[in-house]
Amino acid sequence: MKPDIHSYIRPGVHAHLVGIGGVSMSPLAEVLLGAGMIITGSDMQEGAAVTHLRGLGIPVAIGHRGENVAGAQCVIRTAAVHDDNPEIAAAHAQGIPVFERAEAWGSLMTQYPNALCVSGTHGKTTTTSMCTHIFLAARRDPTVMIGGVLPILGGGHRVGKGDTVILESCEYCNSFLSFFPTVAVILNVDADHLDFFKDLDDVKASFRRFAALVPQDTGVVVANRDDGNTRDVVAGLDRKVVTFGLEEGDVHAANLTWNKGLPTFQVVYQGQVAATVSLSVPGLHNVSNALAAAAAALVLGVEPKAIEEGLAEFHGAGRRFEHKGSYHGAEIYDDYAHHPQELRALLTTVKGLGYRRVICAFQPHTYTRTKELFDQFVEVLKLADLAVLAEIYPARETDTLGMSSRLLADRISGAIYCPDLDAVTRTLAELAQPGDLILTVGAGDIVRASAPLLS
């Protein structure tokens, strides 16, 4: 039987982190160190995170070797590290318990009175970032873990001394089921990660279990009233549910106006205007994200003034409609959208910003997602004036399905297929004209395609 992780996440215990330089492992190491634990780690390569951790006094070995776990009382690994890793194999051989990263974050949450967990198929990074801005404006000194870069943090995490931890909470491999939220936000629920989930009903069941993790008497689920799948997830739930929505819900928007593509609106809570918000990010989807962040803050007792200030200062997270520069009079933006619904929100938003043409260079992410959602990708990419299709980014997969971006391009009038990123760069250079908006879009390395143009 696997040992209880809570007995290991405590002062004085030596934990070894495999893959310590990763985006959510390095902040975990820092938080565990701050909690009085003895931390060592290993990673495959040097980097800024490794340098930072060493500066805190954490020994980090480069390369994975069995001897690196010597003296550790437990080992914590990132999801990319499997049982055949020499350090994991050594830990198993020596009887050292091995825990997943999500389990460690979950155990840490139990040490905070408020654990705000932001979930959803789309919008997690942006909404977690909005929550962070609000709690910083409220001077609540939060600990934060975001799956992206937030400029105000100079990275994707923050180690605070306040009573609140804010975490982006991902459903993939059910990792968020290791968490202990006191407030669980559900932004939306869609069919995604179908290499792990069987179907949409399986995804819904996972979110339902996540919602049920909040304490029955004191916990709150913040749920999107505008999303039918989210309504299904929380229907009949024996937990307190606070809904948000653009026009209806316990928290909703009123008097929404637009100025140069940017929204201003009132946040209505329990029938009263609680705050007036002006956003510096475009799109109705970001109004919804802001309402979710405001709702979470309100149920945690944050003053409305901090909601106004925090959201006003939010200018976007890294790779979320991030302005990269200009080339030949065309403005270049980068975005992480990799699901048809995210692409639809992005392209619908930018079509209203007044550009002469919208050129979307899209890199599909994983063969399974491209195959499962193929027809949806075809339809939504038609919203761009011109689609440039980079080859599929495989991530954790190999192509056993015969999928290629060329198949998408064949179904979209005027689309251009590019077998590699150099071809994308050349194509964008030839196409760019004054007044154009060029988007590089996807969860892989598509952003590299615009770098030569901007240099």
Total Cβ atoms within 10 A of residue 397: 17
Start-to-end Cα distance in the chain: 55
10-residue block means of pLDDT along the chain (455 residues)? 91 97 87 93 92 96 97 93 95 97 94 96 96 98 90 88 95 93 98 91 98 97 98 98 98 96 96 97 97 98 98 92 96 96 95 95 96 97 98 92 97 98 98 98 95 92
397-405 contacts, C-beta under 8 A, 24 or more apart: 397/195, 397/366, 397/367, 397/368, 398/367, 399/367, 400/367, 401/367, 401/368, 401/371, 403/367, 403/370, 403/371, 405/363, 405/364, 405/370
DSSP 8-state assignment for residue 3: P
One domain, residues 377 and 444: yes
Number of structural domains in the chain: 3
According to the model, what pLDDT value does residue 312 have? 97
Q: What are the residues facing 322 on neighbouring strands?
A: 334
One domain, residues 210 and 289: yes
Tokens 């792990």 correspond to what residue? 196
In a domain, 176, yes or no: yes
In a domain, 317, yes or no: no
According to the model, what pLDDT value does residue 49 have? 87
One domain, residues 91 and 164: no
One domain, residues 381 and 235: no
Total Cβ atoms within 10 A of residue 303: 16
Q: Which helix (H) or strand (E) holds 376?
A: helix 374-381
- Phi then psi dihedrals of residue 416, to 5 deg: -115, 125
According to the model, what pLDDT value does residue 10 have? 93
One domain, residues 168 and 252: yes
DSSP 8-state assignment for residue 392: P
CATH value at residue 364: 3.90.190.20
Tell me which residue of 156, 168, 159, 160 sits closest to 48, measured CA to CA. Answer: 156
Q: For residue 161, give both structure tokens.
A: 């001394």
Beta carbons of 187 and 224 less than 8 angstroms apart: yes
Give the domain range for residue 444. Answer: 322-454
According to the model, what pLDDT value does residue 359 have? 98
One domain, residues 340 and 405: yes
One domain, residues 340 and 272: no
Tokens 């006003």 correspond to what residue? 312
Rounded to whole angstroms, the Cα distance separating 239 from 187 reads 17
One domain, residues 186 and 60: no
One domain, residues 116 and 94: no
In a domain, 105, yes or no: no
One domain, residues 349 and 367: yes
According to the model, what pLDDT value does residue 204 have? 98
Strand order in the sheet with 74-77: 60-62, 38-43, 14-18, 74-77, 98-100
Q: For residue 338, give both structure tokens.
A: 């990799």
Burial class (CB in 10 A: 0-12, 13-18, 19+), 55: exposed
Tokens 């979930």 correspond to what residue? 119
* DSSP three-state, residue 185: strand
Q: What is the pTM of this model?
A: 0.88
CATH value at residue 280: 3.40.1190.10
Residue 395, C-beta contacts closer than 8 angstroms, at least 6 positions apart: 365, 366, 443, 444
User: Which residues are known catalytic residues?
Assistant: 124-125, 168
Tell me which residue of 425, 404, 406, 429 sits closest to 416, measured CA to CA. Answer: 406
Rounded to whole angstroms, the Cα distance separating 411 from 417 reads 11
In a domain, 107, yes or no: no
CATH value at residue 67: 3.40.50.720
Burial class (CB in 10 A: 0-12, 13-18, 19+), 326: middle
